[in-house]
Amino acid sequence: VNDEIERFFSVSLDALSIVGFDGTFHRVNPGFTRVLGYTSEDLRGVRSYDLIHPDDASQMRERIEQGKSGEAFHSVDVRIRAKSGEYRLLQWSSIPIVEDQILYAVGRDVTEERKARADLMTAKEGAEAASRAKSEFLANMSHEIRTPMNAVLGMSDLMLDTDLDRVQQEYASAINSAGSALLEILNDILDLSKIEAGKMELENAPFQLRDRLQSIMTVFSVRADEKGVELAFEVSPDMPDLLIGDHGRLRQVIMNLLGNAIKFTESGQIHTRIESARQDKDTVEVLVSVRDTGIGIPLDKQERIFEAFTQVDGSSTRQFGGTGLGLSISRQLVDLMHGSMGLESTEGVGSRFYFTVKMGIQHEEVSAAVDPGPDGSADPGAPAPVPAADSAPAAWTTGLHILLAEDNPLNQMVATSLLKKDGHTVEVADDGQQALEMSVDGAYDVILMDVQMPRLDGVSATVSIRERERQQGGHIPIIGVTAHAMAGDRERFLEAGMDAYTSKPVRRDALRVALGEAMAKSCKTSN
Ligand code: ADP
């Protein structure tokens, strides 16, 4: 038995030592020499205390004192000066034998491991900081881009409503559609960053499936006609019509697949089919497939196209535009809706993209409760706005006296013109402070409140107005107007006391919807 233990002693990778209570070394193993460099010779006359890092000495002394009364210790980190002079971090365990006045001590060198762990922590913190910086950058950038976009889209909208000759009309529409395309890309980038930051929030509201699909098809039929591609769609009869879920995001995914199908198909047919893959009393797994007769996708690229920024043809000479974000966003949205997305495709023959999402089933026929449409199209994921004007409560669409709080002169001009065109009267406050003062005597029907303003921002101004109303009574509807479309903003605005919000660039339809929503809501609160 002794021989066996002897063999373990000599073969151990850890530093094994027998040390007297007085600190002198009685025996060390080859592992000790390998880790710390000292041979038994070197250690003659050396006391173990002398090798301990000064900062660790007092705790080690304490342990050894405890050892003298028979107490063992486990996994205690202590730095030891090696023969080379550098300190190594060893993790020690030890058992004392009180009658013999000695300790059996095992030390494991964890210097590299701890360093790697610390490096990893630093790297992780660095990456987290970078990711936070990225999100902040995106939020700021979206603000910076959306503000001038507001002017580009708004002004060209207005211009298109004036008397233009044919060429001017053409130029103005080009500006308008280029602006819309730019906004779409911006929205994609924002969506992706929101999903990556775990900040994508889904709506859960009732909607009518067949109606929504019809409006999507209407949007695409023009483009399909232009290309001479046939567009067909069918919904299986067992598919319930009243669903609960995020119709805006569902639409976004379908529109992305349809957009791609049209883009990559020169002739033939695009067939969209919607069926119920599984169904119980309250939920349905909606299976959507979009089949095209287009160029198809080579097998080795089929998985990769779901990655962000990836396209089948990524070369600079490629024929088709696009950012490569659509499918990546779509797949992640589908994941968030508890489904999955896949494809079958043969090069030169065509592709079939399909996905499932889980939706709730709305039972009673309460059509009044059905979401009238995107909340003022504040939904930044809407790639091409389907006209929502039909769903705005008509009673509020004209004749209001509106206070517009907005610091940017271009935006003031756009919003004022849009509102005046709808038959409202408008007065402008240049910042939140002025809005607070101007609204003191209750002369306005509603306030349109920009969020970022100098002196007093829109959220603070709203809080102050609501505070004043708590003392003096009344409730003026307030609509937040924001270029920030990050998750959590909506809650922040509503919590501050806003009744609705709409995102920049301000579009006429969205504004109408928001106005309707705010007026309807404040009607309820004041009754
Ligand atoms: P984008 O269309 O903006 O480039 P997507 O993520 O939507 O980005 O698509 C990524 C790539 O997948 C496309 O660039 C294209 O190469 C390929 N792809 C997507 N849909 C189809 C399709 N229906 N037919 C052929 N190729 C497709």
Question: Cα 307 to the chain's mean position, in Å?
Answer: 16
Round to whole Å and give the CA distance between 258 and 353: 9
Task: Give me the residue label for tokens 């038995």.
Answer: 1
Residue 271 CA to ligand 1 center (angstroms) comes to: 17
Atom 7 in ligand 1: which residue has the minimum CA distance?
Answer: 326
Please, is 315 exposed, middle or buried when counting C-beta atoms within 10 Å of its C-beta (0-12, 13-18, 19+)?
exposed
185 CA to centre of ligand 1 in angstroms: 15
* Residue to mutate, 305, 316, 334, ligand 1, most ligand atoms under 8 Å from C-beta: 305
Chain position carrying tokens 């909506």? 490
Q: Please indicate whether residue 189, judged by its CB atom, sits closer than 6 Å to ligand 1.
A: no
Mean pLDDT of 475-486: 81
Asked if residues 406 and 447 have their Cβ atoms less than 8 Å apart, the reply is no
C-alpha 305 to ligand 1 mean position (Å):
7
CA of 403 to the centre of ligand 1 (A): 45
Considering only CA atoms, which residue is closest to atom 21 of ligand 1? 260
Buried b or exposed e, range 245-260, using 16+ CB within 10 angstroms: bbbbbbbbbbbbbbbb
- Probe residue for ligand 1, chosen from 185, 310, 311, 313 as the CB with the greatest number of ligand atoms within 8 Å: 311
- Kind of pairing, strands 87-97 and 500-503? unpaired
The answer to whether the CB of 290 is under 6 A from ligand 1 is no
Q: What is the pLDDT of residue 248?
A: 87
In the structure, what pLDDT confidence band is assigned to residue 469 with cuts at 50, 70 and 90?
very high
The mean pLDDT value for 484-488 works out to: 61
Q: For 56-83, what is each residue's pLDDT tens digit? A: 988 888 888 888 889 999 999 999 999 9
Query: Which pTM value belongs to this model?
Result: 0.57
How much distance in Å is there from the Cα of 19 to the middle of ligand 1? 71
pLDDT of residue 346: 94
Q: How far, in Å, is the centroid of ligand 1 from the Cα of 46?
A: 73
Residue-averaged pLDDT of the chain: 85
Of 186, 214, 187, 191, give the one whose Cα is nearest residue 201: 191
Ligand 1 in reach of 264 Cβ (< 6 A): yes
142 Cα to the center of ligand 1, angstroms: 25
CA 13 to chain centre: 48
Range name among 115-119, 188-192, 366-370, 403-407 with the lowest pLDDT average? 366-370
Q: Is the CB of 385 under 6 A from ligand 1?
A: no
**Which residue's alpha carbon is at the smallest distance from atom 16 of ligand 1?**
312
Sign of CA pseudo-dihedral 130, 135, 187, 426: negative
| Range of lowest pLDDT (24-33, 235-244, 415-424, 505-514) | 505-514
